[in-house]
Amino acid sequence: MKKTKKELYLSRKRISPPAITGREKLSDVIEEVFLAYNSARLREGCRLYAEKMLAGNVTVGMSLAGALTPAGLGKSSIVPLIKKGFVDWIVATGANLYHDLHFAFDFHLHQGSHQVDDVDLRKNNVVRIYDVFLDYTGCLISTDNILRDILSQPEFHREMSSAEFHYLLGRYAAEGEKKTGQKDVSVLAAAYRAGCPVYTSAPGDSAIGMTIAEVELRGGKIRINPSLDVNETTSLVLHAKRSGGKSAVLLIGGGSPKNFILQTEPQIQETFLLKEKGHDYFFQITDARPDTGGLSGATPHEAVSWGKIDPDSLPSAVVCYLDATVALPILTHYALSRHKKRPLKRLYFKRRKFMQKLMKEYFDTHNV
């Protein structure tokens, strides 16, 4: 007998969670206790990620905005995801990558307080990122000095994409880990070892970009070409689709990295005029509101209107309105506990082949 509408509305799981004892696994708490509001959205996102986005034929792009690495999320969460093959390519703010270098070179960041006299911090050479404290000289300036020496090396002084720049920088980060006896503490080092390309949507907007500018004043010729980034990232998505696979986006925060990773589909459809429908899977963790018009809060429904998201994927698209420092470690734990390691796609080493395929389809379509 066909169910009535009322029966359909009331057919999902009853809200009657077990009492928490303290002996549960975190993934079980997520399944049994995260039943409503943003806890339920986080559970849905965890399931989407582990059950669909991590399928073997899916290429997963991750965007990173906000001060995540200074809070230790690079070491605790992002590096494990890279090592397990759960992230195939990354778009990050330059700040996240710069602060990642502190860990590579074993410069310390400390728990602090947001309720503090910042004038007094300045007098004592301490820098604050909300409740994270850094030694201005012993951490920031020391990182800048090492970075300046690295960027003075001849292999950096040519035109390249930000993926190539970060791959070169990642090699030095990996060497820094080895010299200081650290292991798996740096996102750039982990991405270097995994062949996971790392892009930034604003190369000048960080202490890395500031140091590049200083090296240029000294006669350096470092040239990060944003057009290479736009086309390379687009080729990664196009290859994922044309090879019979799917493309997934895992958006941690919003900002420019979110748009940069999503604009790959409009680049295919709107700019190149190639037939495509949008990314297949969408999971965003954000604390931004959608009604102010800012991109950080823009919903997947809005993204459909731009061709960024396949409209057929909307039923499983998830937005969790939660602080990333809470949600990302939970998501990482859930994924690692529920899904086996994926073979590394090592997309960094396939960029030229994918670009050739993109160019061929573009030129064939336009009879050039």
The residues annotated with a catalytic role in the active site are: 308
Q: Which two tokens stand for residue 115?
A: 């309720």
Residue 198, classed as helix, strand or coil, is strand
User: How many Å apart are CA 88 and CA 247, to the nearest integer?
Assistant: 10
Which residue has 């200081």 as its token pair?
180
- Sequential DSSP letters for 125-137: TEEEETTEEEEII
User: How many Å apart are CA 88 and CA 248, to the nearest integer?
Assistant: 10
Inter-CA distances, 173 with 47, 74, 106, 159, 256, Å? 33, 13, 10, 21, 25
- Sequential DSSP letters for 298-339: --HHHHHHTTSB-GGGGGG-EEEES-HHHHHHHHHHHHHHHS
Work out whether the CA dihedral 237, 339, 75, 259 comes out positive or negative: positive
Residue 18, classed as helix, strand or coil, is coil
User: How many Å apart are CA 38 and CA 46, to the nearest integer?
Assistant: 12
If we measure between CA atoms, which residue out of 283, 220, 236, 272 comes closest to residue 43? 283
**What is the pairing mode between strands 89-92 and 198-199?**
parallel
Stated as kind and residue range, the H or E segment containing 151 is: helix 142-151
